[in-house]
Amino acid sequence: MASILRGKLNESRLLHVMAAHSPLSAKLAEETGFDGIWASGFELSALYGLPDLSFISMTQHLDMVRAMSGFTHLPIVADIDTGFGNAINVTHAIAEYERAGAAAVVIEDKTFPKVSSLAITGRQELLRIEEFQGKISAALATRRDPNFVVIARTEALIAGLGEAEALKRAAAYEAAGADMILIHSKQNTPDEVESFVRAWSGDAPIVIVPTAYPEMNEGRISALGKIRMVIYGNHAIRASVTAMKDVFARIRRDGGIHTVNKDIVPVEEIFRLQGMDRVKLVEKQFLR
């Protein structure tokens, strides 16, 4: 899958990557036409009913990446937060995620344990630049496939350190060998990110996650010319919660499923997504 993602990046077009938290959500993203899957730590934390505070273990996240990899043909960009520790932990993580079928990882320059970037208040502490460069170097030295993409994410804007610090860190991470730079912001307009992108003079392509500033659409992104990947970071879990809350409330209000049933997919659609047709073929061929 790493070579597929690398090939897409070489096409010089904007890649649209959708968050997923399960094989089923990954399959739906594939059928909708996205270029890749974002194996979101935030979404998996929410699936377990936990805050995004490094409570989900590497093993739990890896198990989901492995399950999604076996269910979709799209390359998976794994959100590994801070790399689960220092540079030594990163070497272990990279080997495991590559083995699990991921095509790329995103590592952020926060301290461990992290606090969700979009939290209104909370600790947003960053590592020393040199220490994070070491993590990038560790990732690059560990990957077996040179097509495996290592994306360095700077949280300088999230931490309120300003554009100059974000540019300084991005340049240092590119110098350490990062394939791409992810710049993140929790402002509710794209101004901060657009300013960073315009000021960026490096060669590494930019990745953005416009969760907080949803008006940053494809046309606006493409006009900047340096962004190669946009990640829709938590829309799968938010859409799931929206739909379930609505359906559950209607069932309680109506005293049954008699009105809501026509508005949700039939069981046959779930069978299709589960691959029941393939099971029937196998039964016919081998059960004797």
pLDDT in tens, 20-49: 999 999 999 999 999 999 999 999 999 999
Select which of 52, 79, 81, 109 is catalytic. Answer: 52
CA distance 231 to 15: 8
Place of tokens 């409330």: 249
Residue 174, amino acid: E
Q: How much is the pLDDT for 124?
A: 77
Domain count, the chain: 1
pLDDT number for residue 114:
76
* 264 falls within a domain: no
Q: Which residues of the chain have pLDDT under 50?
A: none
Residue 52 bears catalytic tag: yes
Residue 260 forms part of a structural domain? no
The CATH number covering residue 219 comes to 3.20.20.60
Indicate whether 127 belongs to any domain: yes
The answer as to whether 267 is a domain residue is no
pLDDT at 37: 98
285 found inside a domain:
no
For 46, the domain range is 2-240
* R_g of the chain computed on alpha carbons: 20
Alpha-carbon dihedral angle through residues 202, 204, 209, 213, given to the nearest 10 degrees: 30
pLDDT at 115: 76
What pTM does this model have?
0.93
The b/e string for 205-228 (b: 16+ C-beta within 10 A; e otherwise) is: bbbbbbbbbeebeeeebeebebbb
**In a domain? residue 265:** no
Asked, for residue 113, whether it belongs to a domain, the answer is yes
Summarize pLDDT for 243-283 with one digit per residue, the tens.
999 999 999 999 999 999 999 999 999 999 999 999 999 99
Q: 225 lies in a domain?
A: yes
pLDDT given for residue 122 in this prediction: 66
